[in-house]
């Protein structure tokens, strides 16, 4: 089971200032029949995008933001600007199970009766994490981080009461979700979209592709300016998230996308170029890790401190940095370049082979 990952990406931020200039709330048509709503989120990425696929007889929502008070205000303003109402919401597609993409899904489903599509892996993870909110579930996995050297810290959501948390993140019952598989076509608002399973950022992450005019709804798989967080969060998830992610990048890099609609940040055009940059970033990080391990065997937390340094301000960003470092270490281990040493004190060290 994966712990929830708000989008606190400790990766490369090439232009942090840009965020401060984004006006909120924002809603506008970014491709024929597709509106982008931008909502504020209480995580360092600051905002998340939802997309409305609009037709005369109803509309589809891709991703469901989060239910904080200011996000609700922004969503209501966006709906108003786009001339949409919850009554005519027919379908909700959830790209993955992170809290800032699913938060309003349960409530919107209840109010509209909309069909919900999600990949089976993330639908299942979402059920265990968010359907019934048991804070103790979240802490179960802290053992995983402790053995990789991370001092124990409270996760962000543990400060909220279950009621408060339900207001912010409320998901539909698992039984209400229609599972969407790789390669399947969904008929959404009078158009045909292909589901592309892109594991990496989350195990059950999906993108949507409208072949008619090559519109690519990338969610968090390919983001502009920011490298999506790819982390190993527990022993129960897919074993090689970075390997998955790089494969998933190659899977989409040759799509002739006319526009990429990301889960955070602004739409962009050069999909192949952006994929190339992200792959280069991971290669850079890989050689940094190899150099650090060349000095001496170390645990994932020690490595993360050296790699991410100043940016590890909160428990949450530390956890994500360790998870990201682990995704590299496991990628290298599966590739035969590093190995694990289990120490007497329970800590796991990594060393060059």
316 binds Zn ion, rule: CB under 5 A: no
Distance CA 179, CA 173 (A): 13
Strand 215-219 to strand 259-262: parallel, antiparallel, or no bridges (unpaired)?
parallel
Q: How far is the CB of 234 from Zn ion (least distance, A)?
A: 16
Q: Which of residues 197-236 bind Zn ion (CB under 5 A)?
A: 220
Q: How far is the CB of 336 from Zn ion (least distance, A)?
A: 30
Contact segment (CB under 5 A) with Zn ion among 5-13, 81-89, 142-150, 192-200 equals: 5-13
Q: How far is the CB of 232 from Zn ion (least distance, A)?
A: 15
Q: How far is the CB of 257 from Zn ion (least distance, A)?
A: 19
* Sheet-wide strand order for 185-188: 185-188, 191-197, 206-210, 215-219, 259-262
Instruction: Report whether 108 contacts 72 (CB < 8 A).
Output: no
Q: Quick one: which of 3, 6, 7, 196 contacts Zn ion (CB under 5 A)?
A: 7
268 DSSP 8-state letter = B
SS (H, E, C) 16-61: CHHHHCCCCCEEEEEECCEEEEEEECCCCCCEEEEEEEEECCEEEE
Phi, psi of 239 (to 5 degrees): -75, -25
Where do runs of H (alpha helix) occur along the chain?
Answer: 17-20, 69-82, 99-102, 105-112, 120-126, 135-140, 142-146, 162-168, 241-253, 271-295, 300-308, 315-334
> Which is nearer to Zn ion, 7 or 122 (by Cβ)?
7
> Which is nearer to Zn ion, 100 or 107 (by Cβ)?
100
The strand pairing partners of 260, in sequence order, are 216, 268
Distance CA 41, CA 67 (A): 9
Q: How far is the CB of 171 from Zn ion (least distance, A)?
A: 15
Q: How far is the CB of 36 from Zn ion (least distance, A)?
A: 14
> Which is nearer to Zn ion, 7 or 191 (by Cβ)?
7
> Which is nearer to Zn ion, 191 or 221 (by Cβ)?
221
Contact segment (CB under 5 A) with Zn ion among 3-11, 51-59, 111-119, 270-278 equals: 3-11
> Which is nearer to Zn ion, 263 or 265 (by Cβ)?
263
Strand 206-210 to strand 215-219: parallel, antiparallel, or no bridges (unpaired)?
antiparallel
Q: How far is the CB of 296 from Zn ion (least distance, A)?
A: 34
> Residue 152's Cα: distance from chain center in Å?
23
Where do runs of H (alpha helix) occur along 113-158?
Answer: 120-126, 135-140, 142-146
Contact segment (CB under 5 A) with Zn ion among 77-85, 263-271, 294-302, 304-312 equals: 263-271
Q: How far is the CB of 53 from Zn ion (least distance, A)?
A: 19
Total site size for Zn ion, rule CB under 5 A: 4
Distance CA 199, CA 238 (A): 9
> Which is nearer to Zn ion, 205 or 210 (by Cβ)?
205
> Which is nearer to Zn ion, 7 or 203 (by Cβ)?
7
Which single residue brings its beta carbon nearest to Zn ion?
Answer: 98
Q: Which of residues 88-127 bind Zn ion (CB under 5 A)?
A: 98
> Which is nearer to Zn ion, 39 or 53 (by Cβ)?
39
263 binds Zn ion, rule: CB under 5 A: yes
Beta strands in 161-225 (DSSP E): 177-179, 185-188, 191-197, 206-210, 215-219
Q: How far is the CB of 320 from Zn ion (least distance, A)?
A: 11
> Which is nearer to Zn ion, 7 or 316 (by Cβ)?
7
Binding site for Zn ion (CB under 5 A): 7, 98, 220, 263
């Amino acid at each position: 089971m994966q712990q929830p990952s708000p989008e606190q990406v400790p990766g490369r931020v090439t232009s942090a200032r840009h965020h401060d200039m984004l006006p909120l709330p924002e809603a506008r048509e970014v491709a024929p029949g597709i509106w982008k709503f931008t909502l504020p989120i209480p995580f360092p990425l600051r905002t998340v995008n939802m997309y409305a696929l609009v037709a005369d007889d109803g509309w589809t929502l891709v991703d469901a933001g989060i239910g904080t008070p200011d996000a609700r205000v922004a969503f209501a303003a966006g709906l108003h600007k786009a001339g949409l109402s919850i009554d005519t919401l027919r379908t909700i597609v959830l790209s993955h199970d992170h809290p800032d993409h699913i938060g309003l899904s349960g409530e919107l489903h209840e109010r509209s009766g909309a069909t919900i599509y999600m990949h089976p892996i993330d639908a299942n993870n979402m059920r265990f994490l968010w359907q019934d909110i048991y804070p103790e579930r979240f802490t179960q996995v802290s053992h995983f981080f402790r053995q990789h050297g991370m001092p124990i810290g409270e996760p962000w959501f543990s400060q909220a009461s279950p009621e408060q948390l339900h207001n912010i993140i409320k998901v539909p019952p698992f039984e209400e979700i229609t599972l969407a598989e790789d390669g399947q076509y969904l008929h959404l608002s009078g158009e045909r979209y292909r589901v592309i399973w892109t594991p990496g950022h989350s195990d059950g992450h999906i993108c949507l592709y409208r072949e008619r005019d090559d519109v690519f709804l990338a969610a968090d798989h390919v983001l502009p300016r920011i490298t999506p967080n790819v982390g190993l969060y527990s022993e129960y998830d897919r074993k090689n998230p970075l390997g998955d992610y790089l494969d998933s990048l190659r899977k989409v890099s040759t799509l002739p996308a006319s526009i990429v609609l990301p889960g955070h940040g602004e739409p962009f055009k050069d999909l192949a170029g952006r994929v190339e940059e992200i792959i280069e970033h991971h290669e850079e990080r890989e050689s940094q890790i190899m150099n650090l391990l060349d000095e001496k065997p170390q645990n994932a937390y020690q490595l993360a401190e050296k790699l991410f340094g100043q940016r590890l301000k909160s428990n949450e960003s530390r956890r994500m940095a360790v998870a990201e470092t682990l995704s590299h270490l496991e990628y290298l281990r599966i590739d035969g370049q590093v190995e694990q040493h289990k120490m007497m004190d329970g800590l796991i060290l990594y060393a060059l082979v």
